[in-house]
Structure 1
Amino acid sequence: MVRDSNKLYVTVPSLFRCPISMDVMRSPVSLCTGVTYDRSSIQNWLDSGHNTCPATKQVLPSKDVIPNLTVHRLINLWLRSGDRSLASSSSPAASHSLSAVSIEDVRNLIRRMGNDNEDIAILLPKILEFASYSDENRRLVANFPGFDSEVVRIFSKNRSVIGILETAIRVLGLITRENEAEKRVRALIFDSTRDCLSSLVSILQNGAVSSKIETLRFLESLAGDVQSKRSIAETPDLLSVQLNLLRSESKINAELHDAVLSCLIALSATQSTKMQLIRVGLVRVLSDILQNPTCSKSRTEKCLKLLATVSTFAEGRSAISEEWQCVEAVVEKLVKVTNAAVEDAVAVLWNICCLSRNVKVQEEVAKGNGVTKILLVLQRDCEEHVKKMCRDLVKVLRAVWKVDLGSYETKTTHIKPC
């Protein structure tokens, strides 16, 4: 950052730069990963034989590019609003030049946001770029009187303009790093007169992948107590949209996949939410993820956490019991995860085998060499209540296990991995 008395200097908005050339994009297009590039740069990349996204390094299932009209419009508005040197310069290096923005300039931009005649599409990207530049800038914006309420108001006024909503959620993600700003935003979001949560659903449905991840993390941060968890979960279509993300886009974006699972864990505190998750097909989705050989350890453990959560009530246990492949996957993961995840896996098996006494499930666990794996868990440095559940499982499964345990005591430590 360069200073002269009352000026802070910020770069061209990063949203407007091509990740390959680092120049302001003339024709922004998006890949299936959600990352936006200048058309000429990404086309040269693809034509040279690459089959990956340059920014994420992910293999592309499709090389099709889609014009990003929202970013294109924002760039044009931004150029026309005062940074004319970029538009008029013929040198590519001009896009790297610095544009001086004083603190007073930013204050004026924020004040103008309250004017219904102003175009938020022009003002908000400038404020976002300023706030992103440094912690000092972020704190100045976060603590500006009334700014948080103006940003939250955007979600009620611009529900159909996805580009503006995406910029607004990034602004909220920045300013809520300040504790006081977070408290104010939380109160504003949950104000019954504001229809903000539905706009967040719109981002999850229609936004870029990066915006969806930002939105999910913001929702997770909002879910601080039971009442807020319930309010978020009861937003129409929110849970079903998240399940759809797990079914589709998450296959090409692991970060999005993890963000959805973390958000669902944060929201699944109430009985009504658990019931709704079962109804929208959570167990089948988690089963598919656990069976995927490329599933990471973190995603596996989050899936087990969610299964343990929904297995605490009868409908959840019934849904898991009906998914034989899900039961098999839980047994298979039993000795391959951390102690915290082992507790969740054991809890799932205990709930459906011991609490529900489902004989068919007991047989399925036994077929999957479940008893041996449960005995191996007993040798780990687990909490006593986890070992107690394991002993209960062994006793219940004895009736369906084909090998006689004889006088075997479940507290033994001589069993070795097969």
Structure 2
Amino acid sequence: MVGDKSTTTTAIGRTTNAAFKRDELYLNLTVPNLFRCPISMDVMKSPVSLCTGVTYDRTSIQAWLSQGHNTCPATMQVLPSTDFTPNLTLRRLIHLYVHHTTSSPPELSPNSSLSSSLRNSLISQPEALELIKNLSSRDTASSATKLVEFVRFSEENRRFVANSAVGVSNLVEILRTSEETQVSDQILLVLAIISPENGVKELLNEKILKSDFDYLSKFFWFFRKGSLSSRIASAKILESIASDADSQRKIAEKQGLLFELYKLSNEETDSNAVEASLSALIAVSTSKTAKKELVRFGIVKTVGEILSGSEAVRPVIEKAVEVLASVATCTDGRAAISEDEGCIMGVVKRLMKCSGVATEHGIVVLWSLCCLARDRTAQEAVLKVNGVTKVLLVMQSDCSAGVREMCGDLVKVLRVKNSKSCLASYETRTTHIMPY
């Protein structure tokens, strides 16, 4: 009898677990997007709202903030406060919805339409591998879409595709052979998503840049004819394969490709597109020739508009100032920046206002103009927006030794330029600064 009771209890437990999983799966398929956390995409259990008005599940946003982020994940706005408020109204709505939906979910019979939807949207790792192997079949477009959903789902899935024997190689080959724009878009997304995984950048570099096939012409076509998402993915892939001087030279010298990357930063308002293009330009434009080309395209004016505006998010500002620091290492770049007073003022404006990274790149730009080139126009532009005070504040901050030394040089140069200021007799070795 005891054995029978134990068996019965186990069977009941299995049935209960199966029912719970069925309910949970059904709920995840039918739940309104309003009830999903923008970070985890799961139904929120404890919804809380940031000062930006966006609501997240408490666990997800706490994890985000604990990693040192100070932005709203959905909008990328810098948070003046990281406090959040429980969204009690939304929590009650979710509770009512969950209770109503799971109280009598439909049977998931093998022949039901919902079961068919499940089979088509949720794929296993072996199925994903089969998709990669058979992407030349008639159902290519939907298969590629499933693969994008698969790698987006989890880090484990991304590692699986990245580490599979045929994964990256087959995907790159499909870029070469596919004539369907939708398929190419999806494959680019997959490659961009898995590119940060170990070994993928090196493999992509080998397959794309060391192949007999001219893949860079394909990328030029993607920038000219592809969707916005494919252009963003293309920029990320090019950034990932620009791993050495030879690779950077090949990409930068491919006719029209550098200009297309620049256009993505200049013509798009989507912050992801601008950030991806600027990141790629930084990775690719390491030679003096490439930097001069960027200056000729108008990168200084573009960056100046980004820095002077009020809508740019932190990652874009960081990349924008880094681009300026890069082009400021060549004579043409310094001359172009000096001629754009608004750009210089934008750099000064962003010191200590965005992030430590942006601040340090900004100091490099100002030092290149005011100290290295001794450009009087640039010095006057910095003084016009009280740049000396900003530089002194940077010196007091937790900056690197090299940046602190550049700040000292800037103060010396600018105090001479502004000899009537109280800073004329300022000693840069002073450890405590009161710039009032």
Shift of 1:162: 2.1
| Pair 1:240-2:262 in alignment | no
Shift of 1:198: 2.5
Shift of 1:118: 5.9
Match of 1:149 in 2: 169
Amino acid at match of 1:270: S
Shift of 1:221: 1.9
Match of 2:350 in 1: 333
* Structure with more helix by fraction: 2
CA contact (8 A) 1:352 1:361 kept: yes
Alpha-carbon distance between aligned partners in 2 of 1:57 and 1:349, rounded to the nearest angstrom: 30
Shift of 1:171: 3.1
Query: Of the two, which has the highest radius of gyration?
Result: 2
Please point out which of 414, 420, 428 is paired with 1:403.
Answer: 420
Q: Where do 1:170-189 residues align within 5 Å? A: 170-173=189-192, 176=195, 179-189=198-208
Shift of 1:190: 0.9
323-332 vs 206-215, greater mean Cα deviation: 206-215
Seen in structure 2, the aligned counterparts of structure 1 residues 407 and 170 have a Cα distance that, compared at 3 Å, is closer
Seen in structure 2, the aligned counterparts of structure 1 residues 237 and 20 have a Cα distance that, compared at 3 Å, is farther
Match of 2:221 in 1: 202
Please point out which of 340, 362, 367 is paired with 2:384.
Answer: 367
| Pair 1:319-2:336 in alignment | yes
Alpha-carbon distance between aligned partners in 2 of 1:181 and 1:270, rounded to the nearest angstrom: 25
Shift of 1:286: 0.3
Amino acid at match of 1:316: G
Alpha-carbon displacement from aligned partner over 1:117-170 (angstroms, at most 9, x marks no partner): 867446544555566666666566555554533322233334x64212112213
95-104 vs 340-349, greater mean Cα deviation: 95-104
Percent sequence identity is: 38
Alpha-carbon distance between aligned partners in 2 of 1:373 and 1:285, rounded to the nearest angstrom: 24
Please point out which of 287, 293, 301 is paired with 2:304.
Answer: 287
Amino acid at match of 1:193: D
Equivalent residue of 1:398, what SS?
helix
> Which sections of structure 2, spanning at least 5 residues, go unmatched?
1-24, 35-73, 77-110
Please point out which of 368, 383, 406 is paired with 1:351.
Answer: 368
Q: Where do 1:264-275 residues align within 5 Å? A: 264-275=281-292
RMSD over aligned Cα atoms: 3.9
Seen in structure 2, the aligned counterparts of structure 1 residues 319 and 101 have a Cα distance that, compared at 3 Å, is closer
Seen in structure 2, the aligned counterparts of structure 1 residues 330 and 147 have a Cα distance that, compared at 3 Å, is closer
Give TM-score scaled by structure 2 length: 0.65
Alpha-carbon distance between aligned partners in 1 of 2:428 and 2:171, rounded to the nearest angstrom: 59
Amino acid at match of 1:207: G
Amino acid at match of 2:412: K
Match of 2:118 in 1: 97
Shift of 1:320: 0.7
| Pair 1:224-2:243 in alignment | yes
| Pair 1:167-2:186 in alignment | yes
CA contact (8 A) 1:153 1:194 kept: no
Alpha-carbon distance between aligned partners in 1 of 2:266 and 2:259, rounded to the nearest angstrom: 11
The structure showing larger relative contact order (alpha-carbon pairs under 8 Å, at least 6 residues apart) is 1
